[in-house]
Amino acid sequence: MRLLALHTALVVLLCHLSAVRSWGLAGHQIVATIAQTQLHPLVRQHLCSILPNFTQYPSIWPSSPQGRPNTHCHLAVLAGWPDNVRFRLPWSSKLHYVNPTDDHPPQHCTYGEAGWTSDDNILHAMVNYTQRLTTETGYERDLALRFLVHFFGDAHQPLHLTGRARGGNDIWVHFEGRKSKLHSVWDGLLLNKQVRQLANYTSRLPSPRIESGLRGDVYDPYIRWILKEGLGQPAIKGQEPLGWFTNEAPEWPSCGTEAGRGLVVQQTGQSVFNDQDPSAVDDTDLPICPYYWTKPMHPLVCEYAFAHPVPEWEPPSDDLEGGVPEHPPSPPPPRLPLPELDTPEYLGRIDADKVIQRQLAKAGVRLAAVLNTLLLDEATRAVGGIMPVDWLDEGRS
């Protein structure tokens, strides 16, 4: 009886905590945590020379050659920080999204063909902060990494890729009976519901790499689920990893061929910035291509986010700057009943097609790939080239 009461109190407390917590934050932390589990161990350790020391977590892996317990610095700790400062740093506000010109989902979907409403957008920001991660030092480098982690998350939230009704911020709907903005449904409520409903993966996976990347959070089982059933990690010894995304995931970090990216290359071999070519933003030496990556994701806006029964209504003066609100949201349309989105027709499709899980996994895998590519040499030099033993094989037992 006593135990039951304690259990109930705990459940109530946990529910309370998760209601208070911003799930926009959870999405960012999940992306960062998935990335953390995919980092090379030396890169993971090396993050401590970039991030502040309060991001440190004890690591049960890799064990150092000297047998000392290691710590590593965790990307998730500061993953939400750019949202906290977007009003204090107003210039950063527009960098969380991109608004393609002439995009009006679901009737008319364009992504870059007609340009962008502003060049201060997430595509350029991702390139900029990737570059700065390699050139800045000290606090500036720390900031570059914080922004980068955050923008990888935002770029994989489909409603950050459209300006219609300010990325769905002006469209009111019901989700699980509660009034909400369409944007918030996608920022957190869908994910919140999936996390809440997951009953398995509460115990540890046999992978120290994965387990030492988790932080004891309410969404840990959800991350294990995506890693195990989505990416097939850790693999069973002697078997090919099998998962929902096993076939596509190896291609996620790829930027395709230069021809595929439509690079504009002058005869001198010098690339030029070309306003008319949306893929010009990818034209860098960096292991990053935000346009190439996000273009195939933009149809999610038309096919899922603005799908029936999302109302056609939007404010009369469609704010072209769009994205996430810089002023209070418009009031809902008078007398229109708000449609419920927690239905088999709307949410059922998103769940069945693993839309949310795929976006989070993609963002995490890509972020880790970029950090591994940019930081491995530096991280290896920092430890004098001493590699942890057997790190590639871990978990395969």
Ligand X SMILES: *[C@@H]1O[C@H](CO)[C@@H](O)[C@H](O)[C@H]1NC(C)=O
Q: Which residues bind ligand X (CB under 6 A)?
A: 53, 128, 131-132, 198, 200, 225
Cβ proximity to ligand X: between 54 and 308 the closer is 54
User: Which are the contacts of 246, defined by CB distance < 8 A and separation ≥ 6?
Assistant: 231, 232, 240
Cβ proximity to ligand X: between 243 and 315 the closer is 243
Cβ proximity to ligand X: between 198 and 218 the closer is 198
Chain centre distance of CA 158: 11
Instruction: Give the span between the Cα atoms of 395 and 358, in whole angstroms.
Output: 23
User: Residue 71: beta bridge partners?
Assistant: 58
Give backbone dihedrals phi and psi of 256, rounded to 5 degrees, phi first: 70, -170
> Least separation, in Å, of the C-beta of 198 and ligand X?
6
> Least separation, in Å, of the C-beta of 100 and ligand X?
21
> Least separation, in Å, of the C-beta of 53 and ligand X?
4
Cβ proximity to ligand X: between 162 and 233 the closer is 233
> Least separation, in Å, of the C-beta of 238 and ligand X?
20
> Least separation, in Å, of the C-beta of 2 and ligand X?
31
> Least separation, in Å, of the C-beta of 247 and ligand X?
19
Cβ proximity to ligand X: between 169 and 359 the closer is 359
Alpha helices in the chain (DSSP H): 2-20, 23-38, 41-46, 81-84, 122-135, 138-155, 165-168, 182-184, 190-197, 208-211, 220-225, 290-294, 299-300, 349-352, 355-382
Instruction: Give the span between the Cα atoms of 370 and 257, in whole angstroms.
Output: 17
Beta strands 70-73 and 56-59, pairing class: antiparallel
User: Which are the contacts of 87, defined by CB distance < 8 A and separation ≥ 6?
Assistant: 93
Cβ proximity to ligand X: between 53 and 276 the closer is 53
